[in-house]
Amino acid sequence: MKALYFEEHGGIQNLVFGNRPEPEPGPGEVRVRLKTAALNHLDLFVLGGMPGIPIGLPHIGGADGAGVVDALGAGVSAFEIGAEVVFDPGLSCGHCDYCRAGEQSLCVNFGVLGEHNDGTFAEKAVVAADSLAPRPDHLSWEEAAAFGLTYLTAWRMLMTRGGLRTGETLLIHGIGGGVSLACLQLGKLAGCRVIVTSRSPEKLARAGDLGADELLPADDQVARAVRGLTGKRGADVVVDSVGEATWMQSLKSAAKGGRIVTCGATSGPNPKEEIRLIFWNQLSVIGSTMGSRDDWRRLMTAVTGHLLRPVVDVVLPLAEGRTAYRRLEDAEQFGKIVLSIDG
């Protein structure tokens, strides 16, 4: 099968478009013939190599995708060959204490499709049958590939971990990436006032078109501006997936008793810290990763029930994967970078 893969960790020049063996589904798994896939920042980290996370080489990246069920492993009865599906890209063992409690993203062996095994940047990929959901009718194939990891991450951050409530003020740093846009859409769906930041005036304008209530330049005056917009109160919930570049503004922007939720650190993992702000303002700093199967089911209900559509930045053929990775690396995108696959 055709695939986008690499044989050595490194830069984008290491990506190869060529032939790889077709994967076979094991017990409880299905093989999906992919129509589309989508990039995440994780794909750049996996290509570059991550300390302590050994990856078998050659490796096919890609966590997100949508396609048609192509082969069934032993014991799979919930889906038939030909079913049009999307899937939760989380990988969990199914039998540790956390998995048995329904907290799959806390699994002691947790991983992500395309990180710990071969992913979706190929004509075919193998996923767990219980991760599958029918493709929502209102989504194109391109949109169907573009929401899994980011919407699931956003759902757990805001709803499950962040406890977001209608009427609260939500601050989202760095609007334009997949998780931040999903947080904007889910925050508006929840009836919140949403403040977004970006260094790009164009990205701010587009966020305004998507319903963002307040648009702020991403600089060291964010917290001051948030205080100004909220009668000195601050934001009830702050979403920070940027890390070093924004963390201090997150601490200063949060309302007393506020919650700062982090799911990533695209600008670096070691920000300057200010412990006094945390105890004096009684802040909660909350970590969040991907989501549980229950988060996934609730998310799918929201996506289908409210006809949510992820923002697609651009669609490129799988053969032009290097161009897609480069666009992500240069942070040029607004929404998801999607790969079309003629499986």
Q: Which is nearer to Zn ion, 111 or 163 (CB)?
A: 111
**Which one of 93, 277, 316, 319 is in contact with Zn ion (CB under 5 A)?**
93
Closest distance of CB 157 from Zn ion, Å: 21
Closest distance of CB 147 from Zn ion, Å: 24
Helix, strand, or coil (residue 290): coil
Helix, strand, or coil (residue 213): coil
Q: What totals of helices (H) and strands (E) does the chain contain, helices first?
A: 11, 18
Applying CB under 5 A, the site for Zn ion has a residue count of: 5
Q: At residue 267, what are phi and psi to the nearest 5 degrees?
A: -100, 0
Which of the stretches 89-97, 144-152, 191-199, 283-291 binds Zn ion when contact is defined by CB under 5 A? 89-97
Q: Which is nearer to Zn ion, 100 or 165 (CB)?
A: 100
- Contact predicate 153/182, CB 8 Å: yes
Is residue 112 involved in binding Zn ion (CB under 5 A)?
Answer: no
- Contact predicate 230/255, CB 8 Å: yes
Closest distance of CB 128 from Zn ion, Å: 12
Which of the stretches 86-94, 167-175, 215-223, 228-236 binds Zn ion when contact is defined by CB under 5 A? 86-94
Kindly identify the residues of this chain, within the stretch 195-224, that bind Zn ion according to CB under 5 A: none
Q: Which is nearer to Zn ion, 93 or 190 (CB)?
A: 93
Q: CA–CA separation, 26 vs 156, rounded Å? A: 29
Q: CA–CA separation, 73 vs 30, rounded Å? A: 6
How many CA atoms, within 13 angstroms, populate the side-chain half-sphere of residue 26? 2
**The two three-digit tokens of residue 52, written as one number:** 């302590």
Which of the stretches 39-47, 95-103, 119-127, 307-315 binds Zn ion when contact is defined by CB under 5 A? 95-103
Helix, strand, or coil (residue 280): helix
Closest distance of CB 148 from Zn ion, Å: 20
Binding positions for Zn ion, rule: CB under 5 A: 92-93, 96, 99, 107
